[in-house]
């Protein structure tokens, strides 16, 4: 199995995917990147970024369309298409992988302000009366004073669905 | 034989035998028959029967709580609900105040947009700088490439000139040597010269460059020349001299 050799399996591990630093803003709809498969030393940073960080980008930005352009133009570049129609171009000539990551995280990444705003919005959206996997509590039985789920404690016969008061009715 | 006998016999056992044999044949020839039979009855009481005496009229009486406990719990519930309502009011007021002072979500969004504009402008500036630097670098590279190409052209021209000069020299030498060429006028004398000084190429040579003539060349052939030459060269040549350099050294020493 050639895929299991070298650094290939490493960059697909869950831990490695979680280490990605580039979390693009909500403004970014599409992110494309031009690189070279056989690069010169000036172009190798973009290729390395694609090799090492592309999976992390995909993991952290599931709603962004990510496009790769291999061997299209001389200068390696990155281009982001924002939701208001603007395009942001990055010239990646002569940059290392770490520099590219830093640049993208700084320019298009979520800043402290964005994160604070999103946190506040999530708080405002939160309703303690809601139940479910996306809410604060999964079930009513987690509330203090309420009856626990029947999976944890058997309910009395009179509150189960099978209980019938008057068997003559049905 | 069995089938025939069962057909002939009238007894019930014979019919059973026939039926079982037919079913076996059906299975052998791939004809499937659905096994029709009674279903298993469900466990428990049939629905048509009335509830048992144990179940019927067995009413569960929840134990009554003490009135003071009920009162206390009601009071606590009211207090809790009022506290929650008050807190909600406090938070609402805080949010409204933040929004009025420009600290609300909308204000944050505006600040974000400004921040993004600023970052994009910085990026544009950096792109421009890189573009200018690349243009300058490419101009330098072009200049260097041009000089390299010119140098290559110069070397190639020099090489061609040298070759041309060499060819001219060769032609001039040939012209100067042409006085000794064989023509109709000097043919007789050249033939006589060749007869006087014959050039013989029938020799063996070793690594040191020594030539071995077998048989020894003679100016004029006398008698019948030997026919079998195969064993004449049946000797080890040049082993005593080694390479050319060694032979030269030996010669120099001997001189």
pLDDT tens-digit map of B156-194: 999 999 999 999 999 999 999 988 899 999 999 999 998
Q: What tokens were used for B183? A: 């023509």
Kindly provide the ipTM of the predicted complex, given to two decimals.
Answer: 0.78
pLDDT value of position A9: 83
pLDDT value of position B151: 98
pLDDT value of position B171: 96
pLDDT value of position A8: 81
Look up the CATH number of domain A2-110.
3.40.30.10
Q: What tokens were used for B167? A: 């060819």
Residues of B in contact with A124 (CB under 8 A): 95, 105
- CA R_g for chain A: 26
- For residue A155, give how far its alpha carbon lies from the nearest alpha carbon of chain B (Å): 13
Number of neighbouring beta carbons within 10 Å of residue B247 = 18
pLDDT value of position B149: 98
Give the 3-state secondary structure percentages of chain B, helix then strand then coil, rounded to 5.
Answer: 60, 0, 35
Question: Mutate which of B47, B110, B130 to test chain A, going by most A C-beta atoms within 10 A?
Answer: B130
Q: What H or E segment, with its residue span, contains residue B191? A: helix B187-196
pLDDT value of position B13: 43
Give yes or no for A114 touching B (CB within 8 A): yes
pLDDT value of position B95: 83
* CATH 3.40.30.10 placement within chain A: 2-110
Q: Which positions 34-63 of A are in contact with B (Cβ < 8 Å)? A: none
Question: Any idea what DSSP says for residue A153?
Answer: S
Q: What tokens were used for B20? A: 């079982």
Q: What H or E segment, with its residue span, contains residue A67? A: strand A65-70
Residue A35 forms beta bridges with which residues? A70
Q: What is the pLDDT of residues A18-66, one digit of tens each?
A: 999 999 999 999 999 999 999 999 999 999 999 999 999 999 999 999 9
Distance of CA A127 to the CA centre of its chain: 23
pTM (two decimals): 0.54
- Whether the CA torsion B223, B228, B229, B233 is positive or negative: it is negative
Question: Any idea what DSSP says for residue A123?
Answer: H
Question: Rounded distance, CA A28 to CA A14, Å?
Answer: 24
- Pairing between strand B204-205 and A65-70? unpaired
pLDDT value of position B135: 96
Residues of A in contact with B120 (CB under 8 A): 86, 88, 107
Q: Which residues of chain B have pLDDT under 50?
A: 1-30
pLDDT value of position B232: 59
What is the distance in angstroms between the CA of the first residue and the CA of the last residue of chain B?
126
**Cβ–Cβ gap B105/A124 under 8 Å:** yes
**Cβ–Cβ gap A167/B50 under 8 Å:** yes
Question: Any idea what DSSP says for residue B51?
Answer: P
Question: Rounded distance, CA A87 to CA A95, Å?
Answer: 21
Nearest CA in chain A to B103: A117
pLDDT value of position B18: 46
Q: What is the pLDDT of residues A110-119, one digit of tens each?
A: 999 999 999 9
Q: What is the pLDDT of residues A101-145, one digit of tens each?
A: 999 999 999 999 999 999 988 888 888 888 888 888 888 888 888
CB-CB: which of A25, A93, A106 is closest to B130? A93
Q: Is the pLDDT confidence value at A156 over 50?
A: yes
- For residue B67, give how far its alpha carbon lies from the nearest alpha carbon of chain A (Å): 19
């Amino acid at each position: 199995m050639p895929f299991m050799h070298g650094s290939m399996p490493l960059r697909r591990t869950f831990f490695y995917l979680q280490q990605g630093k580039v979390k693009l803003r909500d403004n970014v709809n599409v992110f494309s990147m031009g690189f070279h498969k056989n690069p010169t030393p000036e172009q190798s940073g973009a290729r390395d970024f694609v090799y090492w960080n592309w999976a992390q980008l995909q993991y952290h930005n599931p709603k962004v369309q990510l496009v790769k352009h291999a061997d299209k133009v001389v200068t390696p570049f990155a281009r982001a298409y924002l939701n208001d129609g603007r395009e942001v171009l990055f010239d990646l000539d002569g940059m290392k992988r770490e520099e590219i990551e830093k640049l993208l995280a700084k320019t298009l990444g979520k800043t402290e302000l964005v994160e604070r705003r999103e946190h506040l919005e999530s708080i405002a959206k939160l309703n303690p009366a809601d139940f479910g996997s996306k809410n604060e509590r999964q079930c009513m039985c987690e509330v203090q004073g309420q009856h626990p789920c029947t999976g944890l404690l058997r309910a009395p016969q009179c509150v189960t669905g099978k209980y019938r008061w008057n068997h003559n009715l049905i | 034989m069995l089938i025939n006998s069962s057909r002939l016999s009238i007894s019930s056992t014979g019919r059973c035998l026939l039926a079982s044999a037919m079913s076996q044949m059906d299975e052998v020839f791939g004809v499937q028959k659905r096994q029709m039979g009674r279903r298993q009855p469900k466990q428990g009481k049939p629905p048509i029967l009335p509830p048992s005496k144990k179940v019927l009229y067995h009413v569960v009486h929840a134990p009554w709580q003490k009135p003071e406990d009920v009162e206390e719990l009601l009071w606590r519930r009211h207090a809790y609900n009022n506290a929650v309502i008050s807190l909600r009011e406090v938070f609402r007021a805080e949010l409204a105040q933040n929004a009025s002072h420009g600290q609300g979500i909308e204000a944050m969004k505006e600040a974000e947009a400004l921040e993004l504009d600023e970052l994009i402008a910085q990026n544009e500036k950096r792109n421009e700088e890189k573009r200018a630097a690349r243009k300058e670098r490419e101009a330098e590279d072009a200049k260097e490439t041009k000089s390299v190409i010119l140098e290559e052209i110069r070397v190639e021209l020099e090489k061609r000139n040298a070759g041309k000069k060499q060819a001219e020299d060769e032609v001039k030498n040939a012209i100067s040597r042409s006085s000794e060429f064989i023509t109709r006028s000097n043919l007789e004398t050249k033939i006589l010269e060749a007869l006087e000084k014959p050039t013989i190429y029938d020799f063996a040579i070793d690594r040191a460059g020594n030539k071995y003539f077998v048989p020894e060349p003679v100016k004029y052939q006398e008698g019948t020349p030997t026919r079998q030459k195969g064993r004449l060269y049946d000797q080890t040549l040049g082993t005593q001299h080694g390479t050319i350099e060694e032979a030269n050294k030996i010669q120099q020493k001997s001189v």
